[in-house]
Amino acid sequence: MFRSGAFVADHVSPVAGEQVQPNGVDLTVEAVFEQVEPGRIGRDGKRIGEREEIEPSVASAPEDTDAGVPTFRLSPGGYVARYGETISIPEGHVGYVLPRSSLMRNSAMLHTAVWDAGYTGRGEGLLEVNHDLELERGARIAQLVFARADHEETYDGSYQGENIE
């Protein structure tokens, strides 16, 4: 059974009222990266390829509705999007991050993985852009949902505590 958005919100920080949905919490984009070196996934470990952070541009013209808002201007390609919220998956639950429909309607997709009970961090997702896209920092791009789940242990992997400054 999936949990309510109010329940999920208790495990996300920071969270604003407009992020809380009936069945989950919207996640925002904080940073965007482009992978510039190969990674490796082996049987006995992994190496994440080197990345470069994409700097958002800031429009300054008064007639521009985006004046002062940091905006990522993305060409078609694959990017890594870091969420702006710290998430803690409670025991007895599993987390799923799904793309908001606004991404799909703009020829973009967000790919994610299962988030195990016990994970805490500011996660990331693969942002696939198929047509030029302007994405404001702080825009809602995904929704986190929790489902009840049995498990033997809690997460204690290499991504525990990731991106927490």
Looking at residue 132, its amino acid is: D
Is residue 143 a part of any domain in this protein?
yes
Q: What is the pLDDT of residue 63?
A: 59
Is residue 60 a part of any domain in this protein?
no
pLDDT in tens, 40-73: 999 999 999 999 999 999 866 555 566 688 999 9
Contacts of 144 (CB under 8 A, 6+ apart): 8, 12, 24, 25, 26, 27, 87, 95, 96, 97, 115
Looking at residue 51, its amino acid is: R
Q: What is the pLDDT of residue 89?
A: 98
The closest of 77, 54, 20 to 11, measured between CA atoms, is 20
H helices of the chain, in order, are 5-9, 101-104
Q: What is the pLDDT of residue 66?
A: 62
Pick out the chain residues at pLDDT < 70. 59-67
CATH code of the domain in which 27 resides: 2.70.40.10
Q: How many domains does the chain have?
A: 1
What domain range is 86 assigned to? 5-38+49-55+69-148
Q: pTM here? A: 0.92
Is residue 122 a part of any domain in this protein?
yes
